[in-house]
Structure 1
Amino acid sequence: MRFSSTSDYIAGDDLTMAVNAAITLQRPLLVKGEPGTGKTELARQIAASLGVPIIEWGIKSTTRAQQGLYEYDAVSRLRDSQLGDARVEDVSNYIRKGKLWQAFETDERVVLLIDEIDKADIEFPNDLLQELDQMQFFVYETGATIRARHRPIVIITSNNEKDLPDAFLRRCFFHYIQFPDMDTLKSIVAVHFPDIKPTLLQTALTQFFEIRETPGLKKKPSTSEVLDWLKLLLAEDLSPEELRRDSGGALPKLHGALLKNEQDVHLFERLAFMARRQGR
């Protein structure tokens, strides 16, 4: 099984190599990068490229590792016992399977996405070490051991909001998705907007990279945000001339798609004010 770019996703040589290395080593692929650089979509496209299903486990700050294995609903069992329900005789009726269990019991190999692992408690990755390493876990309530029928392709994403434990990192193959350069970004845009005019695309992307490289910017706009911006530019039918800013500090057209906090908007307003003063 070898991953390659799809018609909907452009993967660079280094990313393609990382995915295939993780598949060969049968280790989880830990993918880091700026928010909006396509980490989650990568897992979906790996599944599409390999022709296998995907199981997605979105992590929140309250997510516990045990939830990925299973949860025992003792409250429901107690309530049913008080009502005389015969289901209480079989404890398995009150076991809710987690995403890892679902991935382990499938009849074919699947992609298992553990999305934004850095949102959870710092102990969360360590609590999954044995299960991801040995591809099995024990269900205490039933006495059963659940073993993976086929080792899933595990993709783990992180926005780098917190450091992950060394013991966990040691078991992963790591890749950092670099922000695409101009040529790669043009290829990505071509997938989504194949009919965009080259002059508009060149003007828009030149302006976009100028914005990203502005000193003092708190949050740099990402790949997903430039795609949203281009969609708006096309919807408004703006020409390259209308898109060009009068000065390097002026706010870009439809800037709300690119600048996502007031500090960055104020930064460009100050730059525009200074540029006007210097132009007098």
Structure 2
Amino acid sequence: MTKPIFDSSLSLGSRDDSAIVDYLMAIDDQDGARRILSQQPGGQGIFPSDTAWKCSGLTLGFIEPASGQTTKLPINAASLVQADRNLIGERIKISLDKFFVHSYPGSGEHTVLCEFAGKNQVPGEVEELRFALRTKVRDNASASISGQPIFLGVTVGSNGISFEGRAINVCNSMDDIVLSALDSAAFKSGLSLIATAQPALKPFTGLAESVVKAALERRKNVQVHNFHLGLDFGGNASSVRLRVGSYVVVQSDDPSWDWTNWHWDRNTLSLQAKDDKGSAPKANYMVFGVTPFAS
């Protein structure tokens, strides 16, 4: 697998409390700043649920493709997934199927910039891929995203695929003009790849990279989370394999997270607790679909 492009040390939760408070005050989130100043962590990496954005780790689950009319689907730890070697040399589609925010810095409606990177292993060349989108979402709610194509037609290499992403909290109103570049039809439809190298792809991915870089240079914009998924065909207990299905990326530092306490509800397209309340997790999460690509 390749070296990650995105750096977790850039995430807001990696800063010390003093720097976090300075940022929250800069975006007029005085309540959030007071919570940081008064919080008493119950253990390493455990913080009040209203600062779920402070977590810098991830917990990864996997949902098998649905069959029949079953509405509540089990979620397994992604490390238990069995690789599908039939995908080697095939082309797949990667989509963002869900983005749920339990809490984000600031108040009211958040503008979130999401950037994703990967590689397309076409014959004789490896293409760098970048895709970015922006969305608006409030705390304890889902962004209006469902089945958003990210990469269409990624060729799976013999060592699997490397896929990573990050979410950036955008609080500088002047960036609306810069981010409007992401509203074009080309960006909204995802990167549609062909089986051979595309010279025109490089400026397209370069534009995505430059837009995100420009946004991050603003003091009021900050990376909230990043993740790196190396999906391969090995058998190591510490790695994650590639197969068709849905990967659930939870922004969490909780070492005791247990997927048997959760299921995926097809009626609401959401992660729910298996208790009587069916509550949502007190964590931010994304769900990515991996499906065969139909050209």
**Which structure dedicates a bigger proportion of its chain to strand?**
2
Structure 2-normalised TM-score?
A: 0.22
In our comparison, the structure showing a higher alpha carbon Rg is 1
Greater percentage in helix: 1
Q: Which has the higher contact order (CA 8 A, sep 6+)?
A: 2
TM-score, normalised relative to structure 1: 0.22
